[in-house]
């Protein structure tokens, strides 16, 4: 019996193009129940990254594929990382051999380091209503005259679109040097995906207010202001409402953060297929006789940034609902020097109706989500 333990020092979240490092330990445990223990011989072990794609048969029409033989013979020494899993293998990296002919005595363990660049041309990790993209590190090993055993370690991949390319390498003689940095660190800092992503965060932190007039057929309801349209995972979306200049009384409003999952036309199961909408947070507030107010919606850390592939497109939007009155609402005026305490009671019956709207962000003003 061999125990295999995989440990990712930096955690299970990586950017596309980043180097993933994992320590893999093989141990021949010493059992306290057995009186005699023997050495274990492993023929080989290897590891590789692969992305598995799953689609809902009721919503996604994939092209027909030939049957694949998923059974692996006991004597086969070829590692198939997606063996035994459903869906399709979208991409995989070349396997890397960790060792060959390893002998472990009772209680002995060996640790091997595995490193690989997360592919840039793959989709991000995503679990939606119609499709799923799942990344896994698969470790395979085989004992002599025994079947191959697989250990799968899931991890998360984020793809940041629009991230600047690494700068063109400069000549060492003319390149600027920093005496406070080590030579290797100073020369490779700008080439790291994390450093380039941090530079991109500077753009998302800039604020530029966007104003929208909320109206219906009878007049103006409110003015809405959002300070920016680019957000990161874990950041708060903050917006303000100004009802002081409205012609229509607003009784209540709600703002929801939603994601749209749209299947591309060529892969839709039926024509005119509806878009899958998922809610990720809601702010509800009563605003009768309120001059101004605001809302704050956090972007969850476990969601996927907007992306697009040949099969699916994921977008983000804010969904608004307003409950307005058909008739003017009488406001209660409190005198400045009124000696007695008065209590104002709201109307028992109000002729109202609900109006709703979507504030979507197109390509040039899309709601970009990312985490570092």
pLDDT tier at 55, thresholds 50, 70, 90: very high
pLDDT tier at 84, thresholds 50, 70, 90: confident
Contacts for 360 with CB less than 8 Å, ≥ 6 apart: 315, 317
State the greatest distance between any 2 C-alpha atoms of the chain, in Å, as a whole number: 96
The pLDDT score that the predictor gives to residue 209 is 85
Radius of gyration of the chain (CA): 29
More reliable by pLDDT, 312 or 63:
312
In a domain, 28, yes or no: yes
Question: Mean per-residue pLDDT for 204-230?
Answer: 84
In a domain, 170, yes or no: no
More reliable by pLDDT, 337 or 136:
136
Is the distance from CB of 325 to CB of 178 less than 8 angstroms?
Answer: no
Q: For residue range 318-336, what is the model confidence (pLDDT) as tens digits?
A: 999 888 887 776 666 666 6
pLDDT tier at 296, thresholds 50, 70, 90: very high
pLDDT tier at 234, thresholds 50, 70, 90: confident
Give strand pairing partners of 140.
46, 150
The domain boundary residue, chosen from 127, 158, 189: 158
Ramachandran region of residue 9, left (φ > 0), alpha (ψ -120 to 50) or beta?
Answer: alpha
Say yes or no: 89 and 144 in one domain: yes
Q: For residue range 163-179, what is the model confidence (pLDDT) as tens digits?
A: 655 544 444 444 455 55
Q: Is the pLDDT of residue 196 over 80?
A: no
Q: For residue range 125-135, what is the model confidence (pLDDT) as tens digits?
A: 999 999 999 99
Q: 3-state class of 195 per DSSP?
A: helix
Which residues form the domain of 91? 3-61+77-158
Token pair listed for 152: 């799968």
Of the listed ranges 69-83, 105-119, 299-313, the least confidently predicted one is 69-83
Q: CA–CA separation, 238 vs 295, rounded Å?
A: 6
In a domain, 342, yes or no: no
Q: CA–CA separation, 208 vs 204, rounded Å?
A: 10
In a domain, 345, yes or no: no
Say yes or no: 221 and 362 in one domain: yes
In a domain, 174, yes or no: no
In a domain, 291, yes or no: yes
The pLDDT score that the predictor gives to residue 328 is 72
Percentage of residues in the chain having pLDDT higher than 90: 36
The pLDDT score that the predictor gives to residue 311 is 93
Say yes or no: 229 and 138 in one domain: no
Average pLDDT, the chain: 79
More reliable by pLDDT, 22 or 79:
22
In a domain, 151, yes or no: yes
Number of domains in the chain: 2
pLDDT tier at 69, thresholds 50, 70, 90: very low
Q: Is the pLDDT of residue 216 over 90?
A: no
CATH number for the domain harbouring residue 295: 2.60.40.640
Contacts for 105 with CB less than 8 Å, ≥ 6 apart: 28, 39
Of the listed ranges 49-63, 199-213, 221-235, the least confidently predicted one is 199-213
Q: For residue range 101-118, what is the model confidence (pLDDT) as tens digits?
A: 999 888 889 999 999 999
- Select the highest-mean-pLDDT range: 28-42, 83-97, 257-271: 257-271
């Amino acid at each position: 019996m061999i125990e295999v333990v995989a440990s990712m020092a930096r955690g299970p979240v990586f950017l596309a193009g980043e180097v993933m490092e994992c320590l893999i330990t093989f141990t021949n445990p010493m059992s306290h129940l057995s009186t005699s223990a023997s050495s274990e011989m492993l023929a080989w072990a290897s590891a590789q990254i692969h992305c598995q794609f799953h689609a809902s048969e009721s919503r996604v029409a994939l092209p027909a594929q030939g049957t694949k033989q998923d059974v692996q013979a006991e004597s086969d020494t070829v590692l198939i990382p997606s063996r035994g899993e459903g869906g399709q293998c979208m991409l995989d990296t070349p396997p890397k051999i960790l060792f060959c002919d390893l002998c472990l005595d009772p209680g002995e363990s060996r640790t091997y380091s595995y490193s690989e660049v997360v592919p840039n041309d793959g989709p991000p990790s995503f679990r939606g209503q119609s499709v799923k993209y799942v990344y896994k590190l698969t470790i395979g090993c085989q004992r002599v005259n025994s079947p191959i055993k697989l250990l799968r370690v899931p991890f998360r991949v984020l793809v940041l679109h629009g991230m600047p390319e690494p700068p063109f390498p400069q000549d060492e003689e003319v390149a600027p040097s920093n005496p406070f940095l080590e030579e290797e660190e100073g020369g490779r800092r700008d080439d790291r995906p994390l450093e380039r992503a941090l530079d991109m965060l500077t753009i998302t932190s800039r604020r530029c207010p966007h104003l929208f007039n909320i109206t219906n057929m009878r007049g103006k309801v409110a003015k809405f202001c959002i300070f920016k349209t680019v957000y990161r995972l874990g950041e708060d979306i903050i917006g303000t409402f100004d009802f002081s200049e409205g012609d229509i009384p607003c009784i209540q409003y709600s703002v929801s953060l939603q994601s749209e999952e749209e299947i591309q036309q060529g892969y839709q199961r039926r024509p005119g297929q509806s878009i899958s909408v998922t809610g990720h947070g809601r702010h509800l507030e009563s605003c009768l006789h309120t001059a101004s107010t605001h809302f704050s919606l956090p972007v969850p850390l476990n969601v996927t940034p907007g992306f697009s592939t040949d099969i699916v497109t994921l977008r983000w939007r804010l969904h608004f609902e307003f409950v307005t009155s058909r008739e003017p609402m009488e406001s209660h005026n409190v005198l400045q020097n009124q000696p007695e305490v008065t209590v104002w009671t709201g109307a028992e019956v109000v002729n109202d109706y609900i109006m709703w709207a979507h504030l979507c962000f197109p390509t040039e003003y899309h709601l970009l989500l990312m985490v570092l």
